[in-house]
Structure 1
Amino acid sequence: KGIKDSLFDAIMIGLIFTITQTLVAFFIGPELVAVLGSSVSLISIVIINHFFRKPNGKLRGIFLSVVNYVILLVLVVLTRLVFNDVLNKYPFVITFDIGGHILKVDYLTTPGTLLLISSIIGAFIQGANFKTISMTLLETLDKIKWSSITIVSIVILAKVMGNTGMIISTAVLIATVSGKFYPIFSPLVGAIGTFITGSDTSSNILFGILQKETAKNLGFDTTWIASSNTSGATAGKMISPQSIAVASSAVGLQGLEKQIISTTLPICLVYSLILGMYVWIVSLLIV
């Protein structure tokens, strides 16, 4: 019954998300693909449920529940499109030269800053005062302190593995062994990247070039195989310790990370296998 009740919403969200992402990628660019895709999906399903099903609340209440996302979307558009050139220069970006390696810190436009700003503005719109916001922030920081240590440790591990070539070596081994069947395992490589780093973006950074070069050497369409890395990276979210640590803290399930991973691991593997078969079949048709 639960699946039946949620099936319509799942299909609609999937379709709207896919169509929006495709249109944004073609006509705007890659920066806002995920943000606009998810935001349009969220707003659309709220509208559909309000007008075509029995409304569960007033429009004002619905707006207040999603106002943080709306503000975040506006901030992303302003910082990435409207004022991008200005905000990518000093004093909004601090540059460090460490042993010949240039490190740029865009403290104002980094996702964490935008999330914090949108949350604070949204809280004021929802009626919270400064004291309530401050107390909530402190309680949240206390709640996620151990998860934060875990996340930082995982990021450090990912950096060490990436800089020492451990991740690349593992992926190259998979490509070498799989040969012409590599497209089947291509999404799995993306999933491994997200499993280690906790981020789809980081997975693409780690393995994107590898996927492209491997596809070129094996005679497969490079864009298709590189795209499969992104698709597979979404599967890795299910088993990423970093993501699970954040999610378990958010919903009060600290200490149950092992059980969560044991539940999501089979789903992740089946998802990756089905995706891999699809990628392989299509790759044979577009060679």
Structure 2
Amino acid sequence: MTWTQNYDPMGSLLMSTVVALIPIVYFFWALAIKKMKGHIAGLTTVALTVVIAIFAYGMPAGMAVTSTVFGGFTGLWPIGWIVINAVFLYKLTVKSGQFDVIRSSISSLTTDRRLQVLLIAFSFNGFIEGAAGFGTPVAISAALLVGLGFRPLFAAGLCMIANTAPVAFGGIGIPLITAAKTTGLPVAEIAGVAALQLGIMGLIVPFWVIVAMAGFRGAMEVLPAILVSGITFGVTMWATGTFVGPELPAIAASIVSLVALALFLKVWHPKSIFLFADEGQEKKGTNVSYSLGQVIKAWSPFIVLTGFIIVWAMPAIKTAMRTLNVVIPVEGLNKLVIQAAPIVAKPTPYAAVYTFDWLAAAGTGILLAAFLSMFLVRMSFGDWIRLYGQNLKELMYPLITISCVLGFAFIANYSGMSATMGLAAAKSGKVFPFMAPILGWLGVFLTGSDTSSCALFGNLQKITAEQIGVNPVLTVAGNATGGVAGKMISPQSLAVAAGATGLVGQESEIFRYTLKHSIPMVLLISLMTYVMSLMM
């Protein structure tokens, strides 16, 4: 038996939108005001969404439960799989004593906490985002900052703010490639618009994240470093996105930014070193000197990780590994939900296929990097296994949270709630270009993925733009660029960051910290998109 989505179950789009927004408003309230633990907020939000899907949207109960379970398994694999192994790799360096050497090597370059954030939370984070995407960059970079001595909340929040500019080009450009496939628009044109917008954001974000960390005066003290980091990132992203395509901008921009800043810090230092209040007097560096070989050995897990991520992202390798995927159509859901106009041009069965990509998943590449690293750092296999078991135990609640929020995302999509909110935004008429990034922002909040947001709202963005006489390439690109600001408040990202920094149960604190940055950032991108709509 099939079921056709109804995007206006209340007979009034306004009232239907209000109903669709109830789970989101509840989730915001649960985290920001009630300060619930992440897994409790996630579980109750899922339950509320299922009730609304069944009784307000008329979705068959079996389909509602099945779509939620489908989302929950997707949360465990591949998202949870990435988090488990990324955090484990970091803990392996700590357990083996190698992180002391890593800390020393970074401190020898700079002990200033602001500059460490530029190097790790912005540039290195952006490289991992460009190569792997999903939860990998925040999990790795936030854990690194905690290891360097950053307070966990600061580490998580700063990494999530910094991990914005590269997101639309993350995972070798998959969000924009998905947007092109969904809409039929030229991917090169979408990438060009996104590269311009995110190139500008690349100039702004380094300054933004340092202001968030150290205030305006603190940012001005390291303005030369911020400019080196931001200009090299922004210009490289714009150039590669405009003239090369969607696959390389995030990777290229991050590498150029990282190298340029590291070289700059060889010849320039701030007048005063910024440390946190509880760190005491200014640190001049480390008293321990390590040889080049010792430094390379300490960094070897992350060097190996980089190699595996690059190999796993290569199209030919990825295609070959995908031939081993186990593809499971979801019984009772696959192609039984029918999407309707105007979300799609004609009634279309909504596929529901679970893919167990046991080898192609980025998390598997990270696990193999951790296994090889066991030999490089000379850890016994017994210690390696025990550490992995301990890691699994510690990440139990973040995994529950991730599973819940993906369940919420899937029931919102399959019931039609997400589409209701999208259609409401499309009613904004001539100001729709301003709303387009906000729609992408909402999509990433709902799904935790810019790729999923582009798949969810891409066609709606195109149709609405054509109806009001705006270039659809702009609004589709705006969906992807607006989504980058939603990444920092996505429940999925919150769970990943909490798991990586030891803040399990304190997701609400991270949410309260990032929300005040996410909203003005998406409004800035919206303004940028609206101005461009007047010129294109």
Q: TM-score range by the shorter chain?
A: 0.7 to 0.9
RMSD over equivalenced CA pairs, Å: 3.1
Q: Which has the higher contact order (CA 8 A, sep 6+)?
A: 2
Mapping for residues 93-242 of structure 1, pairs under 5 Å:
93-98=325-330, 103-122=354-373, 124-176=375-427, 178-242=428-492
Could you report, residue by residue, the CA deviation over 1:189-237 in whole angstroms, capped at 9, with x for unpaired residues?
Answer: 1111121222222222222222222222222222221121121111112
1 CA distance for matches of 2:520 and 2:390? 38
2 CA distance for matches of 1:36 and 1:109? 23
| Residue aligning to 2:246 | 30
Residue number among 38, 45, 51 corresponding to 2:261 in the alignment: 45
**CA 1:278 to 1:22, structure 2 compared with 1: closer, same or farther past 3 Å?**
closer
Deviation at 1:162, TM superposition (A): 0.7
* Counterpart check, 1:16 vs 2:232: yes
Deviation at 1:276, TM superposition (A): 0.8
2 CA distance for matches of 1:14 and 1:24? 15
| Residue aligning to 1:255 | 505
2:327 is paired with a residue whose SS is strand
| Residue aligning to 1:3 | 219
| Residue aligning to 1:282 | 532
**CA 1:103 to 1:33, structure 2 compared with 1: closer, same or farther past 3 Å?**
farther
Deviation at 1:85, TM superposition (A): 4.0
* Counterpart check, 1:88 vs 2:322: yes
> In structure 2, what residue type is equivalent to 1:153?
C
User: Which structure would you say has the larger Rg?
Assistant: 2
**CA 1:255 to 1:190, structure 2 compared with 1: closer, same or farther past 3 Å?**
same
Deviation at 1:104, TM superposition (A): 4.0
Could you report, residue by residue, the CA deviation over 1:164-192 in whole angstroms, capped at 9, with x for unpaired residues?
Answer: 1110110110111x111011121111111
2 CA distance for matches of 1:33 and 1:127? 36
> In structure 2, what residue type is equivalent to 1:117?
L
2:402 is paired with a residue whose SS is helix
2 CA distance for matches of 1:68 and 1:42? 19
1:238 is paired with a residue whose SS is helix
Identity %: 29
> In structure 1, what residue type is equivalent to 2:311?
L
8 Å Cα contact 1:183-1:279 kept in structure 2 = yes
Deviation at 1:148, TM superposition (A): 0.8
Mapping for residues 51-90 of structure 1, pairs under 5 Å:
52=268, 67-79=300-312, 80-89=314-323
Deviation at 1:94, TM superposition (A): 2.4
> In structure 2, what residue type is equivalent to 1:78?
V
**CA 1:279 to 1:24, structure 2 compared with 1: closer, same or farther past 3 Å?**
same
2 CA distance for matches of 1:62 and 1:194? 38
TM-score (structure 1 length as normaliser): 0.82
**CA 1:249 to 1:104, structure 2 compared with 1: closer, same or farther past 3 Å?**
closer
1 CA distance for matches of 2:319 and 2:386? 36
> In structure 2, what residue type is equivalent to 1:160?
I
1 CA distance for matches of 2:468 and 2:300? 48
**CA 1:26 to 1:87, structure 2 compared with 1: closer, same or farther past 3 Å?**
farther
1 CA distance for matches of 2:376 and 2:461? 45
Deviation at 1:135, TM superposition (A): 3.4
2 CA distance for matches of 1:215 and 1:22? 24
> In structure 2, what residue type is equivalent to 1:94?
V
Could you report, residue by residue, the CA deviation over 1:69-123 in whole angstroms, capped at 9, with x for unpaired residues?
Answer: 543443344342343443232xx22233455655543321212222222343345
| Residue aligning to 1:246 | 496
TM-score (structure 2 length as normaliser): 0.47
> In structure 1, what residue type is equivalent to 2:308?
L
> In structure 2, what residue type is equivalent to 1:233?
G
8 Å Cα contact 1:192-1:236 kept in structure 2 = yes
> In structure 2, what residue type is equivalent to 1:74?
G
> In structure 2, what residue type is equivalent to 1:75?
F
1 CA distance for matches of 2:294 and 2:463? 50
**CA 1:223 to 1:151, structure 2 compared with 1: closer, same or farther past 3 Å?**
same
8 Å Cα contact 1:39-1:69 kept in structure 2 = no
**CA 1:36 to 1:13, structure 2 compared with 1: closer, same or farther past 3 Å?**
same
**CA 1:94 to 1:20, structure 2 compared with 1: closer, same or farther past 3 Å?**
farther
